[in-house]
């Protein structure tokens, strides 16, 4: 029995040092999250705290300039006129989509991730 306790004491004293874990969030070029990990992988990433890592939110965040941008409940979208991009509609009624060159282009502008 003595050898067991001596071995256990030796094991505990050698393994007592803790390794620092780095929580990473990898993302693509547009800022959308790809995956959370503690491993070193290839690609763009930011270091996050444990709470963010555990939450693992993929749908309500984007990464801009190395920081997490959270969607807000007041985020909105707006239909705006554009000269050459978007969907072409009738000049006086945006609910009628046209193929003719006389229509007006409309595009959706999103105001989010403030």
pLDDT tens, position by position, 69-89: 987 777 777 888 888 888 888
Tell whether 33 and 53 lie within a shared domain.
Answer: yes
Q: Give the predicted TM-score (pTM) of the model.
A: 0.57
Domain coverage including residue 86: 76-111
Q: What is the pLDDT of residue 46?
A: 95
Task: Answer yes or no: do 51 and 80 share one domain.
Answer: no
CA-CA distance, 9 to 31, in Å (whole number)?
Answer: 49
Q: Do 58 and 26 fall within a single domain?
A: yes
Listed residue (46, 90, 87, 38) closest to 66, CA to CA: 46
- Of the pLDDT bands very low, low, confident and very high (cuts 50, 70, 90), residue 59 is confident
- CB 72, CB 114: distance < 8 Å: yes
* Same-domain pairing of 56 and 82: no
37 falls within a domain: yes
For residue 15, is pLDDT > 60? no
Cα–Cα distance for residue pair 33/36, rounded to 1 Å: 8
Give how many domains the chain has, as a whole number: 2
Q: What would the two tokens of residue 52 be? A: 């963010």
């Amino acid at each position: 029995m003595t050898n067991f306790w001596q071995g256990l004491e030796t094991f505990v004293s050698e393994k007592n040092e803790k390794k620092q874990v780095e929580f990473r969030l990898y993302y693509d070029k547009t800022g959308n999250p790809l995956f959370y990990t503690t491993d070193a992988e290839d690609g763009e990433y930011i270091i996050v705290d444990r709470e963010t890592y555990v939450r693992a939110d993929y749908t309500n965040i984007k990464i801009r300039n190395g920081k997490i941008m959270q969607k807000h409940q007041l985020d909105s979208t707006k239909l705006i006129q554009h000269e050459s991009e978007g969907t072409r509609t009738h000049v006086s009624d945006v609910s009628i989509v046209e193929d003719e060159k006389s229509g007006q282009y409309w595009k959706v502008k999103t105001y989010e991730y403030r």
